[in-house]
A and B are shown apart, each in its own frame.
Chain A
Amino acid sequence: MTFGTTDKTISVLTYTLFALFALMCVYPFYYIIINTISANDISARGEIIFYPRHIHFQNYLDVFKIPGLWNATLISLERTLLGTLLTVGASAFLGFMFTQEDMWGRRFWYRFTILTMFFNAGIIPWYLTMRTLHLTNNFLAYVLPAIVAPFFIILVKTFVESTPKELQQAASIDGAGLLTLFFRIILPISKPILATVAIFAAVDQWNSFQDTLLLVTDSKLFSLQFILYNYMNQASSLSTMVNLQNAGSTAMASLATKQTTTSIRMTVTIIVVAPILLVYPIFQRFFVKGIMIGAVKG
């Protein structure tokens, strides 16, 4: 993409704007990091703004001491990997299949899929259904319901439709079957959108804990996010105690002075985001180069 350098001003403007916006995005994050490693009392007084003071890592050490953290991390990794793999695979396949004009009831089934994005049955029937399917205290509860993801299917379908028709036609004429077409043509050219779907799906899985809250009571299946959420909650439960004024004001006093909810929240944020940041650049590789349809054809 090398064009004449006539529009230098635009170039300068773009760089400046992006740099500014990037700064706006980085600073809060930086702020969170320096606050988690500064002495908690200084941080609580709101005095850490530009650089850390009295550096310590106790906040992180505390998190690493949470019982069951290691197992929860494994569960989270498993659900993220397996969940992402299945979701990406299903989205790619369904997205492709919904472009097949000659499929029986194509329009109906596509709509059947899309509409679920807007339906919300309510928590009770959802729970009862999951229970009937024996998906309480079951690892599959994390991945099965996420396999068919309408939004991702739409994305893939739109993408596939925007690729040149000749590609598929050429392959069909060569006598390639549907699955061959999917694996040899569609998957390779859809790489950028599949990478996107993968990021979205992985982050969804990684960050999800609502399902654990209601469906899982077996601590062996707790996910990392759930454990951290639990941890944060312990620090911020004072308000619920206040209405029980006889719960013992001494217990409340000790609880009240102990809490530094914000620093815990900040620490947890960093711990959750760090792995995402580590993995994200890998996906970015898929966005760098434009595809050369011509090259594929030839």
Chain B
Amino acid sequence: MSKRNLAVKRATCLLFACLFLVSAALTGCQSSSPNKEASSAPSGSSPAASQGDSAIDHSKPLTITVYDNAANYQGEQTGWYGKLLKDKFNITLNILAPQVAGDQLYKTRTAAGDLGDLLIIDNSQLEELIPAGLIMDITDKVKNTKYLSQYVDNHFKPFNAGFDKVNPDGKIYAMPTFEADTSPTTYSEDTPYSSPLMPWDYYKGVGAPKLNNLNDLLNVLKQMQQKYPKTPDGKTIVPITLWKDWDGGTGAMENVRWLSNWYGYEKPDGTTTIQLNAKGDIVPIIDDNSMYKKILQFLFTANQMGLVDPDSASQDWNKVAEKLTNKQVLLLWYSWQRGFYNTIERGKNGDGNVAVPIADTHLIQTSDAYYGNGRVFAIGSKAKDPDRIMEFLDWYVSPEGLRYYTNGFEGFNYERTPEGKFKLTEVGQTAFQKNTPVPDQYGGGGYQDGQSKINSMIMSDFVVDPDTGEFYNSNYWSSTIEANKTALTMDWQNTFGAKNATDYYLKNNMIDIVPNINTSLGSDSSDIKNERSQISDYVKNASWKMVFAKDQAEFDSLWAKMKTDVVGLGWNDVVAADTAKAQKIVKMRAEAMASK
């Protein structure tokens, strides 16, 4: 018996020893990392006052619990941004991220009646939370700020007034995210969010024929595929590649949704069953003449011609990202998809993905997010020290706060030119991608690791910096634009006679820029929620099958079956709900245009 006990003991000892070894190995590596002490030194003694308000006492450290829909990291803000806030305000941000913890985080915390101190939540959640008493009225607090107060009349008031059902007195409860300070009808980016993009060298390789319509597009893709069946290192070229894992929130095929934008139909936020154009026409996606169906037909034809990646239905976004990086894809649409392959080096050789307009398209593009983009900053009604949170938020929209958020440190990430403009330093150009180590005086650690984990701004980087007269967004600094001039951009500009893609579409009257509307669209009842999810599931599935249908007859029969089946799942109720939402958007767009 005792022998056995001994064996157990020995085994336990061994187990401990082993675990200890593992942990020791881990410590060994950790201790060499410098970014651990960030929060240990209390430095609240010298909070640099960013504004005149000196009544606030910073001597006590404050931890702000941030419930943040935009964050993809849960835990304390560390790194250089964490040190900055600690030194300046003696605050620590403790971020709760539903993207990490799941939607349950919202349900459980609201059921318990306390979501957090600082909240970055969706408009629809704001609408539920105000009547439940979980949101603090900040009307007066905002008025007493230096920077935020500048945006009250044009931005915050109209937004909060839109929540008239739960906010009849027009109080200010929340400040929308990513507001641009341009105008409700301006689009500042150089390329529309969704437009046809292709590899320039391949397109020129088949003679750069003018594209009049989608048929031309298919033919060119076919020619390109025939001429360039493989990449130089032997990977198969897939002219069009689709992926399944982003269909979640769309309620239909995400890929089809964005191609519809080329012909002027968008899917308004919060809806799943309809499409809307600039004139205000609302078309259910199962309508026989809907753009949704036309794009499905386009993809179906493409597949019949052997242009669609056979792995489309089984791959996820990560695989697509690989293919984009390998330049295996011939048709791209999101403007940011170019970034996977395009570099300045390649641009110098005329190599890269560029916009190739199709003559019969007429894009729909929402303007800069003048009124914000679907989420808000708000303060929880049980917040411990709302004045210090407001102080932080005011700084957040100040020139200093915006520069730190978007561009990091002057002298490290960017520098001043003799003309008084900003210019990215060598380090600054790649600090994000390379996660460059930040000097210890700023807090150490990698630059990207240390960036603000809030992942959301009140005012966006499309706000003009009073010191330079340029946007905070470094891509639009004149110094950056100059540095990015390559053979590729010059060649493109000469061919199309325009500065950039947006410019081309505007000049040729091929784009409608509709005001970005950001408001409360009401939250669905449980019945609508359930019907919507059931319908979405069905529509997604049927759409994929249609794209890969054997022949036109199968395509048509799937479509017909879908049309009847979804009605049984409550289609009419959901369309009615979505139409009401779209009508509100149409009305507000008209108002925004009129006030221009």
Q: Within A269-289, which residues are at the interface with B (CB < 8 Å)?
A: 274-275, 278-279, 282-283, 285-286
User: A-facing mask of B434-449, CB < 8 A → 1, else 0?
Assistant: 0000000000011011
Q: Is the CB of B100 within 8 A of A258?
A: no
Known: A67-B445, A258-B432. A124 touches B26 (CB 8 A): no
Least CB distance from A70 to B in Å reads: 4
- A/B interface sample: 30 pairs, CB < 8 A: A45-B325, A65-B35, A67-B33, A68-B78, A124-B107, A124-B111, A127-B104, A128-B108, A184-B1, A188-B5, A214-B104, A219-B76, A222-B75, A226-B74, A233-B72, A233-B97, A239-B246, A242-B334, A243-B250, A244-B178, A246-B368, A246-B460, A247-B178, A248-B460, A253-B336, A256-B321, A258-B432, A278-B21, A279-B15, A283-B11
Contact of A217 among B94, B193, B325, B449 (CB under 8 A): B94
Residue of B74, B180, B245 with most partner-chain A CB within 10 A: B74
User: B-facing mask of A149-192, CB < 8 A → 1, else 0?
Assistant: 00000000000000000000000000000000000100010010
**Stretch of A30-38, A73-81, A112-120, A140-148 that contacts chain B:** A73-81
Looking across the interface, which residue of chain A has its beta carbon closest to that of B475?
A: A250
Q: Is the CB of A254 within 8 A of B368?
A: no
Interface check A121, CB cutoff 8 A = no
Chain A neighbourhood of B248, CB < 8 A: 239
User: B-facing mask of A229-257, CB < 8 A → 1, else 0?
Assistant: 11001101111101111111110111011
Chain B neighbourhood of A65, CB < 8 A: 33, 35, 445-446, 449
Q: Is the CB of B78 within 8 A of A233?
A: no
Taking Cβ atoms with an 8 Å cutoff, the residues of A that contact B are 41, 44-46, 61, 64-65, 67-70, 73-74, 77, 80-81, 123-124, 127-128, 131, 184, 188, 191, 213-214, 217, 219, 222, 226-227, 229-230, 233-234, 236-240, 242-250, 252-254, 256-259, 261-262, 274-275, 278-279, 282-283, 285-286
Contact of B73 among A131, A234, A285 (CB under 8 A): A234
- Taken together as a complex, chains A and B put the C-alpha atoms of A242 and B250 apart, in Å, by 11
Q: Is the CB of B433 within 8 A of A254?
A: yes
Q: Is the CB of A213 within 8 A of B102?
A: yes
Q: Is the CB of B108 within 8 A of A123?
A: yes
Q: Is the CB of A219 within 8 A of B94?
A: yes
Q: Is the CB of B473 within 8 A of A234?
A: no
Known: A234-B73, A246-B366, A282-B18. A77 touches B322 (CB 8 A): no
Least CB distance from A97 to B in Å reads: 21
Chain A neighbourhood of B178, CB < 8 A: 244, 246-248
Q: Is the CB of B433 within 8 A of A258?
A: yes
**Stretch of B286-294, B337-345, B394-402 that contacts chain A:** B337-345
Interface check B101, CB cutoff 8 A = yes
A64-B30, A275-B18, A282-B11 given. 9 additional CB < 8 A pairs?
A73-B26, A77-B19, A77-B23, A128-B111, A226-B74, A230-B73, A230-B100, A256-B336, A279-B15
Interface check B374, CB cutoff 8 A = yes
- Taken together as a complex, chains A and B put the C-alpha atoms of A200 and B326 apart, in Å, by 43
Say what secondary structure dominates the interface of chain A. helix
Interface size class of B (residues with CB under 8 A): 35 or more
Q: Is the CB of B11 within 8 A of A217?
A: no
Known: A45-B326, A230-B75, A274-B22. A256 touches B337 (CB 8 A): yes
Q: Within B82-128, which residues are at the interface with A (CB < 8 Å)?
A: 94, 96-97, 99-102, 104-105, 107-108, 111-112
Q: Is the CB of B18 within 8 A of A278?
A: yes
Known: A234-B73, A244-B374, A282-B15. A69 touches B26 (CB 8 A): yes
Q: Is the CB of B108 within 8 A of A237?
A: no
Q: Is the CB of B75 within 8 A of A244?
A: no
